[in-house]
A and B are shown apart, each in its own frame.
Chain A
């Protein structure tokens, strides 16, 4: 199997697990599922990260973001189709019901004052009060994707 094929299978496995469980899988689980050696999985994850399809945790090499899903808790909690999960930002919090094509309940807070906010996605419509602010110009988003 060449690297392109490995990467396609790893990406499909990552999103299959993430969309069913709400949580990006650890590298070991990907290896077990695809019968790939740990080094091959890590190399594939790095190639996918280099291609901006995933974001990895800096030291461990485990997945940090399989956008729109986050592998770690964030201020963007999403409940959808029985999954309790996290988006990486408010865009990604809305991206989870967009990807799963379902309703969702999103709990977040105002980044300025911390006041709690609740947003619903029901029947293809978003219900809630508030705004989204993009601080970084689009061409620079990937320069520091964790901050962004």
Chain B
């Protein structure tokens, strides 16, 4: 996941790499995602990765509901 100055720069990068445009989110939404994803303490013995259902629920809670965020 890369950082870009603006939408125009995203489009230019996608064109130069011949990749379709993916999902673009503002920094504050990225911060919400980072807090939700990494907020747990991975040192704890009972920490585990989220299941698919849990990850989908997390994405949905942030409004990431398009096909791009589909995990199946």
Interface residues, chain A, with chain B CB atoms under 8 Å away: 8, 11-12, 15-16, 19, 51-53, 67-68, 76, 89-92, 94-99, 101, 108-113, 115, 117, 119, 121, 125-126, 128-139, 148
Contact = CB atoms under 8 A, between A and B. Distances in A.
B38 A131 contact: no
Contact of B42 (A15, A119, A131): A15
A109 B13 CA distance: 13
Interface string B45-72: 1010100000000010000000111111
Given A89-B1, A138-B70, A148-B1, A131 B35 contact: no
Interface string B10-32: 10111011010111111111110
Give the 4 A-B CB pairs with smallest separation, nearest first.
A94-B34, A111-B2, A112-B9, A95-B38
Interface of B: 1-7, 9-10, 12-14, 16-17, 19, 21-31, 33-35, 37-39, 41-45, 47, 49, 59, 67-72
B71 A139 contact: yes
B5 A128 contact: no
Contacts of A112: 4-5, 9-10, 12-13, 16
